[in-house]
């Protein structure tokens, strides 16, 4: 074997090592996400002093709901209504009962000792009917019992509360949000500018996600995002996407009536959604614990806060927000968006653009940009092909199946493998410094475009761009710089990809492929030729003839 061959193999080591380190770190973050996103540990009924207990809520579930489907007009539906009303009265709530012959039998309850509080009411909402195919233990029986138990805890110390606390348990949600429509159209509560927390389920397992807010949500996000029970899973991306979808929950009606508030839902276990298997036996107690802790923590914060969540008229704006591993929610008003992106672009031009012009490696720069330009469209096309190949087959007969997460994991691996092959071919023999500068300059420009078109999505690009700027200033070695930025970005994107794969399922592979491809984009500088003289520190330069 000649020296040139040995040198060629040695020069590949930095690339293999860097990708190995980053992919191993991504795997570690995914395992951590799976463990952490199971939800909080279940609190037993013996530990209920001042805490929400899933055990108590599940015991209440058995008392209120049968194992039969309860669409409007059935005996199970009538019995559920009576059981909920009876429990509320026994707990000291005043209940506005609907006549038995009413078309929609919504349940509205309030604490009489809080009725005259001056601040706008807090409303905890869910629905008690189910679809005709399943008993609705998750959708939304789990939400109802969690809301009832959380409301009981919130109102144990009425002297600490500044708002009336109301329960709105609607009817006929499964028939097209009819109960909520009737309630908003006829009940005087809408004129009081309430703050609503709505809870629903698109499954029977996993964590609760806060996925929707009212337009002009900055006051709500600023005050409530970090009051949520951990894991705190949310993001302006979810809110923006959901507003564009045709489906809705009761919160859609409340939002259209210009109520402020938040919409929460379980999103895992969707293979049981609207099916006979949505039973109490299949309901994850950790999910019930998370629903209850979420309702209790956020509801308590609102009930004790006299501030106006609506903000000044005509001056309220949306927020850009995202969580980091469910531990903390970062947020900023959307008006900060473009100034921040201009700063990122200006800094990128100074750090990367000037060096590219000075080096005159125009051909290599355009190759980097071409690879970036083709990566996501190619992922989109591959996802479409996979989607068409498996949707409706025995492998994926319906959108959600019990083995769907494994298919999504396979899509994730396929997407990363495809991007790795494209980058390996397209970025061969490009110097590390040129590749770093060209990539992050184009990334900053792309960030500016995305920030203008879809500002709620912009953090997916701006956060990695800020990581890269910090690394450029603080980490001299280009090899370590690439690893640091890729791993830091993975902390943001791996949990997000995890939730997206749960929410969309493999039926939507056309969307999953590009979502997963975003994860590898900051790794593109790892495909550089680190053996050339462009490495800033020279620590990885390899001399084949020492």
* % of the chain surpassing 70 pLDDT: 93
Provide the Cα torsion 411, 415, 417, 418; round to 10°. Answer: 130
What b-and-e string marks burial along 30-56, b requiring 16 or more CB atoms within 10 Å of the CB?
beebeebbbbbebbeeeeeeeebbbbb
Instruction: Decide if pLDDT at 534 tops 50.
Output: no
- Average pLDDT (378-395) is 96
Between CA 459 and CA 64 the distance in angstroms is 43
Domain contains 5: no
- The answer on pLDDT for 546 being more than 90 is no
Read off the pLDDT band of 45 (50, 70, 90). Answer: confident
State whether 238 and 361 are in the same domain. no
Note whether 425 and 526 are within 8 A (CB).
Answer: no
Give me 116's structure tokens: 């005259």
Q: Which CATH number belongs to the domain containing residue 128 in this structure?
A: 3.40.630.10
pLDDT at 47: 61
Domain-embedded: residue 1: no
Helix/strand/coil for 198: strand
Output the pLDDT for position 9.
46
pLDDT for position 273: 97
- At residue 73, the pLDDT reads 92
* 149-205 tens-digit pLDDT: 999 999 999 999 999 999 999 999 999 999 999 999 999 998 898 999 999 999 999
Is there a single domain that holds both residue 322 and residue 341? no
Task: Supply angle C-alpha 385, 386, 389, rounded to 5.
Answer: 85
Q: At what angle do helices 404-426 and 509-520 cross, to 10 degrees?
A: 50
What pLDDT does 17 receive? 87
Model confidence band, residue 256 (pLDDT cutoffs 50, 70, 90) = very high
Three state DSSP letters for 351-372: HHHHHHHHHCCHHHHHHHHHHH
Best CA proximity match to 102, nearest among 174, 169, 179, 166:
179
Closest CA to 173 of 197, 150, 155, 200: 200
Which span out of 39-48, 240-249, 468-477 was modeled with the highest average pLDDT?
468-477
Residues 59 and 16 in one domain: no
**Is the same domain home to 359 and 299?**
no
Among the candidates 326, 354, 387, a domain finishes at: 326
Task: Mark whether 121 and 206 lie in a shared domain.
Answer: yes
- Element holding 168 (H helix, E strand): strand 165-170
Residues 127, 183 share a domain: yes
Do the domain assignments include residue 356? yes
Same domain, 30 and 69: no
The verdict on residue 44 lying in a domain is no
Is residue 425 one of the residues assigned to a domain?
A: yes
Question: Mean pLDDT across the stretch 230-248?
Answer: 89
Cβ–Cβ < 8 Å for 340, 254: no
DSSP 90-134: HTT-EEEPPPTT-SS--EEEE-GGGTT-SSPPEEEEEE----SSS
Residue-wise pLDDT for 488-508, tens only, equals 999 999 999 999 999 999 999
Residues 58 and 29 in one domain: no
pLDDT at 220 over 60: yes
Across residues 64-93, what is the average pLDDT? Answer: 97
For the segment 303-312, what is each residue's pLDDT rounded down to a tens digit? 999 988 887 7
The pLDDT of residue 144 is: 98
pLDDT digits (tens, 9 = 90+) for 342-385: 999 999 999 999 999 998 889 999 999 999 999 999 999 999 99
* Spatial separation of the C-alpha atoms in residues 203 and 61, rounded to whole Å: 16
Whether 389 and 240 map to the same domain: the answer is no
CB-CB neighbours of 101 under 10 Å: 6
In a domain, 540, yes or no: no
Q: In what order do the strands lie in the sheet with 165-170?
A: 94-96, 107-110, 165-170, 122-127, 195-201, 260-268, 205-213, 233-234
Q: Which of 14-23, 40-49, 215-224, 529-538 has the highest mean pLDDT?
A: 215-224
Q: Percent of the chain beyond pLDDT 90?
A: 82
Q: Is residue 155 part of a domain?
A: yes
Q: Under DSSP, is residue 235 helix (H, G, I), strand (E, B) or coil?
A: strand
- Do residues 491 and 29 make contact, with C-beta atoms less than 8 angstroms apart? yes
| CA 460 – CA 45 distance, rounded (Å) | 42
Residue 336 has what pLDDT?
94
Instruction: Tell me the mean pLDDT in the region 268-289.
Output: 97
Domains held by the chain: number: 2
Q: Looking at the structure, tell me whether residues 254 and 214 fall in a common domain.
A: yes
Residue in 259, 251, 258 with CA at minimum distance from that of residue 302: 259
Question: If pLDDT is split at 50, 70 and 90, which confidence band does 542 have?
Answer: very low
Structural domain of 190:
54-308+318-326
Question: DSSP character for 173?
Answer: S
Task: Say if residue 4's pLDDT is above 60.
Answer: no
Sign of the alpha-carbon dihedral angle for 355, 359, 360, 362: negative
pLDDT of residue 81 exceeding 60: yes
The residues, ordered by sequence, that sit 6+ positions from 201 with a Cβ below 8 Å of its Cβ are 138, 139, 140, 142, 143, 265, 266, 273
Q: What is the mean pLDDT of residues 426-450?
A: 94
Task: Name the average pLDDT for the chain.
Answer: 91
pLDDT at 314: 65
Residues 61 and 193 in one domain: yes
Q: What is the mean pLDDT of residues 26-52?
A: 88
Confidence class of residue 249 from pLDDT cuts 50, 70 and 90?
very high
Neighbours of 186 (CB within 10 A): 11
pLDDT of residue 531: 64
Burial per residue of 396-435, b for 16 or more beta-carbon CB atoms within 10 angstroms, e otherwise: beeebbeebbebbeebbebbbebbbebbeebbeebbbbbb
Do 297 and 384 have their domain in common?
A: no
Average pLDDT over residues 223-243: 93
- Domain contains 6: no
* Separation CA 15–CA 389 (nearest Å): 33
Judged by DSSP in three states, 7 sits in helix
Pairing of strands 195-201, 260-268: parallel
Are 20 and 242 in contact by the 8 Å Cβ rule? The answer is no
Q: Are the CB atoms for 359 and 434 separated by under 8 Å?
A: yes
Q: What is the per-residue pLDDT across 505-521, written as a single tens digit (0 to 9) for each?
A: 999 999 999 999 999 99
Reported residue count of the chain is 546
């Amino acid at each position: 074997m000649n020296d040139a061959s040995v040198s060629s193999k040695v020069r590949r080591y930095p690339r293999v090592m860097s990708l190995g380190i980053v992919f191993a770190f991504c795997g570690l973050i995914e395992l951590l996400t799976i463990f952490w996103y199971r939800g909080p540990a279940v609190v037993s009924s013996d530990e209920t002093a001042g805490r929400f207990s899933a055990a108590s809520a599940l015991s209440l579930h058995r008392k209120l709901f049968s194992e039969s489907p309860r669409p409007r007009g059935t005996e199970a539906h009538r019995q559920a209504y009576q059981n909920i009303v009876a429990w509320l009265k026994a707990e000291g709530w005043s209940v506005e009962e609907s006549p038995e012959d009413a078309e929609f039998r919504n349940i509205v309850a309030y604490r009489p000792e809080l009725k005259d509080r001056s601040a706008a009411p807090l409303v905890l909402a869910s629905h008690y009917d189910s679809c005709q195919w399943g008993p609705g233990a998750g959708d939304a029986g789990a939400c109802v019992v969690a809301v009832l138990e959380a409301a009981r805890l919130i109102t144990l110390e009425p002297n600490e509360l500044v708002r009336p606390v109301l329960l709105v348990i609607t009817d006929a949600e499964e028939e097209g949000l009819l109960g909520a429509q009737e309630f908003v159209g006829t009940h005087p509560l809408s004129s009081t500018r309430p703050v609503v927390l709505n809870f629903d389920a698109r499954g029977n397992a996993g964590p609760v996600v806060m996925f929707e807010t009212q337009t002009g949500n900055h006051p709500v996000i600023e005050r409530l995002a970090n009051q949520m029970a951990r894991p705190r899973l949310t993001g302006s991306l979810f809110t923006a996407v959901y507003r564009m979808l045709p489906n809705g929950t009761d919160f859609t009606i409340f939002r259209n009536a210009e109520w402020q508030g938040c919409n929460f839902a379980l999103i895992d276990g969707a293979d049981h959604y609207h099916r006979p298997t949505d039973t109490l036996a299949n309901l994850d107690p950790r999910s019930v614990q998370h629903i209850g802790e979420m309702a209790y923590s956020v509801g308590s914060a609102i009930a004790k806060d006299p501030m106006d969540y609506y903000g000044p008229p005509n001056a309220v704006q949306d927020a850009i927000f995202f969580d980091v591993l469910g531990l903390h929610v970062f947020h900023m008003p959307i008006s900060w968006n473009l100034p921040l992106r201009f700063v990122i672009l200006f800094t990128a031009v100074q750090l990367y653009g000037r060096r590219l012009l000075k080096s005159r490696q125009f051909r290599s720069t355009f190759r980097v940009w071409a690879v970036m330009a083709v990566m996501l469209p190619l992922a989109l096309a591959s996802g479409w092909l996979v989607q068409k190949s498996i949707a409706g087959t025995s492998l994926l007969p319906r959108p959600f199946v019990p083995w769907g997460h494994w298919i999504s994991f396979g899509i994730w691996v396929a997407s990363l493998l495809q991007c790795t092959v494209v980058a390996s071919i397209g970025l061969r023999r490009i110097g590390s410094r040129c590749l770093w500068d060209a990539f992050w300059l184009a990334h900053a420009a792309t960030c500016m475009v995305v920030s203008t078109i879809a500002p709620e999505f912009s953090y997916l690009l701006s956060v990695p761009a800020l990581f890269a700027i910090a690394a450029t200033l603080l980490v001299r070695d280009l090899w370590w710089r690439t690893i640091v930025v890729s791993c830091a970005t993975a902390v943001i994107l791996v949990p997000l990809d995890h939730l997206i794969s749960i929410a969309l399922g493999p039926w939507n592979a056309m969307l999953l492929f590009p979502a997963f491809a975003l994860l590898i984009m900051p790794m593109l500088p790892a495909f550089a030729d680190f053996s050339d003289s462009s490495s800033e520190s020279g620590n990885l330069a390899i001399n084949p003839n020492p």
